[in-house]
Each structure stands twice: as structure tokens, then as C-alpha cells.
């Protein structure tokens, strides 16, 4: 059966309230990235709680070496594709590089992503972003903030490096997490930071943290689809596990990922960074 022609009873789309209930009960949230309808349908059927249409599509779909070339028009196109394939998973979309430089520009572009089917938008940045987050949230745009390694800042960071390793950097990251939460962010993605810092941030705020290379104590996990299927020809980051290995199918790999996230067995120590 093709999942895209699924004739079974329609399933309701997961809401932010349902993700919050999972967070409050301690159930881990399993996110994956997707960029098109067929994989979105497969993930939805395999039980992922949430799909992120990431600007990582710049790397894995378009073949760029960073996410900075990705445009809002390209993001809208991929969100529309994913929204057609997905039925019940929560749907988040990345705001691409330079699409949220002012609050007004952010609102305009977030509206395009939400009209395409996104239920929440994700923005990379620390203290400077608080005003924009407040502006969006006041206008009914749910926001996920993104701290730690922020790939859109690769050229200012000087490469893809683990963040928050020094006591000062860790302190700053915790302060920014609280500030962005207070500005109205309803979720926080943490990328490539030491596991103990992932745990401290998760304990310091009252919104779910979604980790990618941020240790097992985050409220949920996310991986780039191509990475977890071993389908990306580039360098494999330490935080990636190939879930297709030992599974007979892509659906099996996605189910194995969801099971390990829920059980708290992924990420294992070998996928984690130390201070």
C-alpha cells in the first residue's frame, strides 16, 4: 500500500499541547527531518511525533556545504510537500538564513511557512532574537528557538564546532535559554553541546528541549533523515547513529529510532560530547 494513498480513517495532527503533555509526563519526543511527501508519510506511519522541515535541505537535498544559500521560497516548497504526505505528526519548519533579520521580516516569512502547513517555526540565535520571538508569539506564530551550534552562523563560528564547552560559554547559553523562553519560545533545540550542559539547560527551563548532539537528558531528540539512514555521503557527525544498519527497511529504521528515543537508549555515550 502506498502511504500517500492511505484510505484508512484520517488521524488528527499532533498539537503543541500534546507534545507538552508528553514533556510533562517525561515521555521523550521523537523528531526527524523530512523534505518531501513520501518520506513524511512513511515517518508519520512509523510513529514519529514530529517532523522538522530543516534548512539542512541545503546540504542533503541541494548539495551545498552550508545552509546559508537556502531561501524562504525553497523552504515553503518543501513544507508544502511534507504537509501533503504527513497526516498526524507535528510539523515544524526552519526559517532560513537572513529571513528573520527584523521582527517584521520574520513575521512576513513565518506567515508563508505557516500557510504552507507549518505549526511552529524554528529560528537560530541568542539574546538578539528575544524581541523577534516576542513579536512572532504576540501575532500567533509558535516559535522553537535554536541554541548551541547554529549552522546558519558557520561563517562567524569558523566551522561546525561543539559549543558551550567553557564554563563562561555554558553560563551564557543557559542565560539565553531562559531569556528566549521568557520571550515566548515554546520549544528549544540544542545542537552540539556537552551532555551535562544539555541536562542543565533542560532542568533550567520549563519548555521541551530537543537535542541533536546534546545528550540523553533533553526532552526529545532529532536527527537529519539522511544521516540516520546512512544516506549522506559527507562526514558523519559523532551524534549520528545509522538506524538502517541491522534493519530490513527504511520503515524499520524509523521505528527503531522512535523506540530508542522513547526508551532513552539513544543517544548512547558514543554519540555524546563532554565538556
Query: Is 79 a binder of ligand KIV (CB under 6 A)?
Result: no
Query: Is 94 a binder of ligand KIV (CB under 6 A)?
Result: yes
| 249, 254, 255, 257: CA torsion to nearest 10 | 130
Site string for ligand KIV, 173-202 (x = CB under 6 A): ----------------x-x-----------
Q: Are 240 and 271 in contact (CB under 8 A)?
A: yes
Query: Is 162 a binder of ligand KIV (CB under 6 A)?
Result: no
Residues 6+ apart with CB under 8 A from 275: 165, 170, 194, 196, 197
Active-site residue 104, yes or no? no
Looking at the chain, the number of H-run helices and the number of E-run strands are 11, 8
Query: Is 33 a binder of ligand KIV (CB under 6 A)?
Result: yes
Among 54, 117, 125, 194, binds ligand KIV (CB under 6 A): 54
Q: Which of 36, 176, 191, 260 is catalytic?
A: 191
Stretch that binds ligand KIV, among 51-59, 105-113, 159-167, 174-182 (CB under 6 A): 51-59
Query: Is 76 a binder of ligand KIV (CB under 6 A)?
Result: no
The stretches of the chain forming alpha helices (DSSP H) are 16-25, 37-46, 57-60, 72-85, 103-115, 130-138, 154-157, 167-182, 195-204, 225-228, 250-263
Nearer to ligand KIV, 6 or 242 (CB): 242
- Spatial separation of the C-alpha atoms in residues 47 and 42, rounded to whole Å: 9
- The size of the interface with ligand KIV (CB under 6 A), counted in residues, is 11
Residue 81 CA: distances (Å) to CA of 5, 53, 64: 15, 10, 21
| 155, 157, 162, 165: CA torsion to nearest 10 | 180
**Nine-digit cell at 183?**
520571550
Query: Is 225 a binder of ligand KIV (CB under 6 A)?
Result: no
Query: Is 224 a binder of ligand KIV (CB under 6 A)?
Result: yes
Q: Which residue is nearest to ligand KIV (CB)?
A: 54
Query: Is 99 a binder of ligand KIV (CB under 6 A)?
Result: no
Q: So which residues are the catalytic ones?
A: 191
User: Which residues of the chain form contacts with ligand KIV (CB under 6 A)?
Assistant: 33, 52, 54-56, 94, 189, 191, 212, 222, 224
Amino acid at each position: 500500500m502506498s502511504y500517500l494513498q492511505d484510505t484508512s480513517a484520517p488521524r488528527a495532527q499532533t498539537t503543541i499541547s500534546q507534545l507538552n503533555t508528553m514533556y510533562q509526563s517525561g515521555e521523550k519526543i521523537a523528531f526527524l527531518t523530512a523534505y518531501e511527501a513520501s518520506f513524511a508519510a512513511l515517518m508519520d506511519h512509523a510513529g514519529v511525533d514530529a517532523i522538522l522541515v530543516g534548512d539542512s535541505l541545503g546540504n542533503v537535498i541541494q548539495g551545498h556545504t552550508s545552509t546559508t544559500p537556502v531561501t524562504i521560497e525553497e523552504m515553503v516548497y518543501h513544507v508544502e510537500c511534507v504537509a501533503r504526505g504527513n497526516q498526524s505528526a507535528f510539523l515544524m519548519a526552519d526559517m532560513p538564513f537572513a529571513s528573520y533579520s527584523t521582527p517584521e521580516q520574520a513575521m512576513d516569512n513565518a506567515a508563508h511557512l505557516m500557510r504552507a502547513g507549518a505549526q511552529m517555526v524554528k529560528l537560530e540565535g541568542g539574546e538578539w532574537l528575544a524581541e523577534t520571538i516576542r513579536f512572532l508569539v504576540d501575532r500567533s506564530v509558535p516559535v522553537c528557538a535554536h541554541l548551541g551550534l547554529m549552522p546558519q552562523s558557520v561563517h562567524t563560528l569558523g566551522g561546525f564546532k561543539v559549543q558551550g564547552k567553557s564554563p563562561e560559554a555554558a553560563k551564557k547559553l543557559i542565560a539565553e535559554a531562559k531569556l528566549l523562553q521568557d520571550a515566548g519560545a515554546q520549544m528549544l533545540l540544542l545542537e552540539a553541546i556537552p551532555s551535562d550542559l544539555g541536562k542543565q539547560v533542560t532542568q533550567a527551563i520549563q519548555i521541551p528541549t530537543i537535542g541533536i548532539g546534546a545528550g540523553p537528558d533533553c526532552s526529545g531528540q532529532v536527527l537529519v533523515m539522511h544521516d540516520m539512514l546512512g544516506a549522506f555521503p559527507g562526514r558523519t557527525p559523532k551524534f549520528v547513529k545509522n538506524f538502517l544498519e541491522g534493519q530490513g527497511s527504511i520503515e524499520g529504521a524509523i521505528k527503531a529510532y522512535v523506540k530508542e528515543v522513547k526508551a532513552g537508549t539513544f543517544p548512547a555515550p558514543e554519540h555524546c560530547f563532554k565538556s
